[in-house]
């Protein structure tokens, strides 16, 4: 269903409190959208509805692993997916693959995910995406810039759901050594990532009052 090596890499982003998985986007996945979901997804383009359908098939599989029956996961007006009460989650897709992450809100306050090709960030996006400190480290690996981009998209989704703040790229500083991104207001968002065969970044905010396992 999905490149086995990508699936292995993506599954390794999971932990006891966050489930992460991926799925190939297949012809017909657009028909997996439940009525409520289809009504909430305004896109007329078949490929867009297909990718959103594939993401929701995956989302429902992950929800089933958490003990939830078939639930609709429509889109809010903001664009963010609306999960059943007690669940936080996120979707991303490229042309071929959908990824999803879910957690339970008693341990995770919010999370976000992104998938990107394992390719360099186009030169013309460097200044837009990377802060001066991040730019100084772009030469560390060919895909370093794209990984920063994916991290910021994942953090954007996390924070948009957490408190509605719409971040700009330079509001976020990625610190891979600490596996976190720090926002302009000082908040730290945790990061996990895989590099091969595609870049996938998971951002998440644990609940500070959750019991430690």
Ligand X SMILES: CC(C)(COP(=O)(O)OP(=O)(O)OC[C@H]1O[C@@H](n2cnc3c(N)ncnc32)[C@H](O)[C@@H]1OP(=O)(O)O)[C@@H](O)C(=O)NCCC(=O)NCCS
Sign of CA dihedral 190, 206, 81, 91: positive
- How many positions of this chain bind ligand X (CB under 6 A)? 22
Shortest distance, CB of residue 211 to ligand X, whole angstroms?
27
- Contacting ligand X within 7-46 (CB under 6 A): none
100 DSSP β-pair partners: 21, 91
* Rg of the chain, C-alpha, whole Å: 17
Nearer to ligand X, 138 or 153 (CB): 153
What residue is closest to ligand X based on CB?
79
Shortest distance, CB of residue 145 to ligand X, whole angstroms?
14
- Contacting ligand X within 126-185 (CB under 6 A): 152-153, 156-157, 160-161, 167-169, 172
DSSP string, 106-143: TTEEEEEEEEEESSPPPGGGHHHH--HHHHTTGGGSTT
How many CA atoms are closer than 13 Å to the CA of 124, on its beta-carbon side? 0
Binding-site member from 55, 102, 181, 205 for ligand X (CB under 6 A): 55
Shortest distance, CB of residue 79 to ligand X, whole angstroms?
3
- Contacting ligand X within 63-92 (CB under 6 A): 75, 78-81, 90-92
* Helix segments in the chain, DSSP class H: 4-11, 35-40, 46-65, 126-129, 132-135, 144-163
| Contacting positions for ligand X (CB under 6 A) | 52, 55, 75, 78-81, 90-93, 114, 152-153, 156-157, 160-161, 167-169, 172
């Amino acid at each position: 269903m999905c490149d086995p090596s990508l699936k292995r890499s993506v599954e390794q982003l999971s932990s006891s409190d966050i489930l992460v998985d991926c799925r190939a986007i297949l012809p017909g996945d657009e028909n997996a959208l439940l009525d409520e979901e289809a009504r909430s997804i305004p896109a007329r383009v078949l490929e867009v509805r297909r990718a959103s359908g594939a993401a929701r098939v995956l989302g429902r599989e992950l929800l089933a692993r958490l003990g939830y029956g078939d639930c609709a996961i429509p889109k809010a007006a903001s664009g963010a997916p609306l999960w059943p009460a007690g669940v936080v989650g996120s979707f991303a897709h490229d042309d071929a693959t959908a990824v999803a992450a879910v957690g339970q809100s008693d341990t995770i306050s919010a999370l976000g995910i992104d998938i990107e090709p394992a390719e360099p960030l186009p030169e013309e996006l460097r200044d837009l995406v990377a802060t001066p400190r991040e730019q100084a480290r772009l030469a560390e690996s060919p895909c370093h810039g794209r990984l920063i981009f994916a991290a910021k998209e994942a953090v954007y989704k996390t924070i948009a759901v957490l408190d509605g703040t719409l971040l700009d790229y330079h509001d976020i500083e990625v610190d891979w050594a600490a596996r976190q991104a720090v926002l302009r207001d000082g908040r730290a968002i945790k990061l996990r990532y895989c590099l091969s065969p595609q870049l996938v970044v998971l951002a998440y905010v644990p609940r500070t009052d959750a019991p430690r396992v």
